[in-house]
Amino acid sequence: MEGHFITFEGTEGCGKSTQIDLLATRLRERGLTVRTLREPGGTPIGEEIRHTLQHSLHNNAMTPEAELLLINASRAQLVREVLRPALAGGEFVLCDRFYDSTVAYQGYGRGLDLEKVRSVIDFAVGSTRPELTILLHVSVAVSEARREKRLSGVRDRMEDLDRAFFERVEKGFLSIAAAEPKRVRLIDAMQSVEQVQGQIWKLVEPLL
């Protein structure tokens, strides 16, 4: 039996990690096999790429084009090494970011040509696509406040970007949701954790 592939999207501080953990717990309580993944990362190669992209002390000069290709190199490895085998084994796969983040961050945020961005994504993922994408939406101001509150002392190149960048990213995510309303389901993440969790469950339960 083929598994189910659900992705979680949204800007920084929208609560993806919390909601993925809550959903994974609830699905496991139903006796289902659940795998949680993150992007970039999810494989040994992908985690090394993640470090280069976000935390390396030598990544200041990275170009948007290099960023796009590195993210999709990590993604191509994840899809083939982990994601496809998990789905073939009937697992529920919950992924913290997938290709919608690339369209929003590298396409809208960085200003790269959207057609070229999608072409690189297509090459990386092939036919492996999420059946449901949960887009958790918070305002740019709330995102900023939450990012500042959770500062860990570990440098993150992506979180250091300015407000104008994240405003473009927000526009990108909303454009994606408007273009694919059946797959991408927009949830107001300014609500309580419990309210958001309840809305997510209403979307996921029919897949069981």
Q: Write down the domain spans for the chain.
A: 4-207
Specify the pLDDT at position 148: 67
Cβ atoms of 179 and 129 closer than 8 Å: no
Task: Identify the CATH number of the domain defined by range 4-207.
Answer: 3.40.50.300
CB neighbour burial string for 58-94, b if at least 16 within 10 angstroms, e if fewer: ebeeeeeeebbebbbbbbbbbbeebbbebbeeebbbb
Q: How many degrees, rounded to 5, is the angle at CA 131 between CA 130 and CA 137?
A: 75
Residue matched to tokens 């740019």: 140
> Beta-strand (E) ranges in 10-138?
34-38, 92-96, 132-137
Interatomic CA distance for residues 206 and 103, integer angstroms: 28
Over residues 92-126, the pLDDT tens digits come to 999 999 999 999 999 999 999 999 999 999 999 99
Over residues 167-202, the pLDDT tens digits come to 999 999 999 999 999 999 999 999 999 999 999 999
Specify the pLDDT at position 150: 60
Specify the pLDDT at position 50: 96
Specify the pLDDT at position 133: 98
Specify the pLDDT at position 141: 75
The model's confidence at residue 144, banded by pLDDT at 50, 70 and 90, is confident
Tokens representing 174?
Answer: 């909303």
To the nearest whole percent, how much of the chain has pLDDT over 70? 95
Tokens representing 104?
Answer: 């929003």
Over residues 15-50, the pLDDT tens digits come to 899 999 999 999 999 999 999 999 999 999 999 999
Mean confidence (pLDDT) of the chain: 93
